[in-house]
Amino acid sequence: MKLATEIDGPIAVIGDVHGQVDKLGVILDRLQDAPQFENRWIVFAGDFVDRGPDSRAAIDMVHEFYDFHPRTTGVAGNHDFAMAASLGLIPAPEYSNWAERWLDHYSADATFASYDVPFADLTALRDALPQSHRDFLANLPWMVEHPRYLIIHAGLDPYAPFETQMKILRQRDFSLNRPQWLCEKSYAEGALPPDCMHTVVSGHVCVPKVIIRKQRILCDTSGGLDGDLSCVLLPEMEVITSGNYHQANYPQQRVPAEPHYHSKAWWKFW
């Protein structure tokens, strides 16, 4: 499973999944009715694991969907990075102590449970991960580039040169203690570097509904806890959610009188 880092054409960006496999199934099913689905890139904004009920099944579903629709890619979230670093799937400075951080602050117990492993038994969890899951977590890009959009889990540093950040994101600099582009919550409300001409699309910070403003889109509407999972279609700026079916021409929401939903059941889990 090789995830593309440079894409073009119409895209759909899905907010933080956090193991919410039922909601993800609804989103992926509804996306098949989106305009230009066959040519549209489906991009995950990161945080596949933790908090929600079934991280393992969520990663399985992403793999299943990738096989069905190869124009699928995604980026690492801070939860994915923390898990990968804790299990030694990616290099990390010893002083960063990701294992302690992940176990204490990331609601990782849900991830252990999804692999049927006792909480905090890192060796057992690593052994329980299928090789495809290890490879997936180890190789998640930090950024997906589009001529008009950048998909980055948390966003960009407003005080660092744009091209410098792009180089670091492209190469995934694992010498950093805490990659801020995956972790920094203040980037949601902060400005972009003045030399950035792209619209930056992120998750990471939970918002009540998808926020679209000049050069900035935030699409995490559940945080892995409550609320619907959301997906934004670009360039249309329409929103699909996992709740009562609606697609919205942003910012106005159009809700059919009769919910229109039918399962194409491409996945194996239901």
Question: What gap in Å lies between CA 102 and CA 191, rounded to an integer?
Answer: 29
| Backbone φ and ψ of 128, nearest 5° | -80, -20
pLDDT tens sequence across 11-50: 999 999 999 999 999 999 999 999 999 999 999 999 999 9
Single-letter code of the amino acid located at 255: V
Q: Within 13 Å of residue 129, how many CA atoms lie on the same side as its CB?
A: 23
Question: What gap in Å lies between CA 203 and CA 183, rounded to an integer?
Answer: 11
Mean pLDDT of the chain: 91
Taking the alpha carbons of 118, 122, 128, 130 in that order, is the dihedral positive or negative?
positive
Residue (of 258, 263, 250) closest to 13 by Cα position: 250
pLDDT tens sequence across 226-261: 899 999 999 999 999 999 755 455 543 333 333 333
Q: What residue ranges do the domains of the chain occupy?
A: 11-254
Return the bridge partners of 240, or none: 231, 247
pTM: 0.91
Q: What percent of the chain is predicted at pLDDT more than 90?
A: 87
Residue (of 262, 268, 269) closest to 26 by Cα position: 262
pLDDT at 113 over 50: yes
pLDDT at 189 over 60: yes
DSSP H stretches of helix in the chain: 21-31, 55-68, 78-86, 98-105, 109-114, 122-128, 131-139, 162-171, 180-183
> Superfamily assignment of 11-254 in CATH?
Metallo-dependent phosphatases (3.60.21.10)
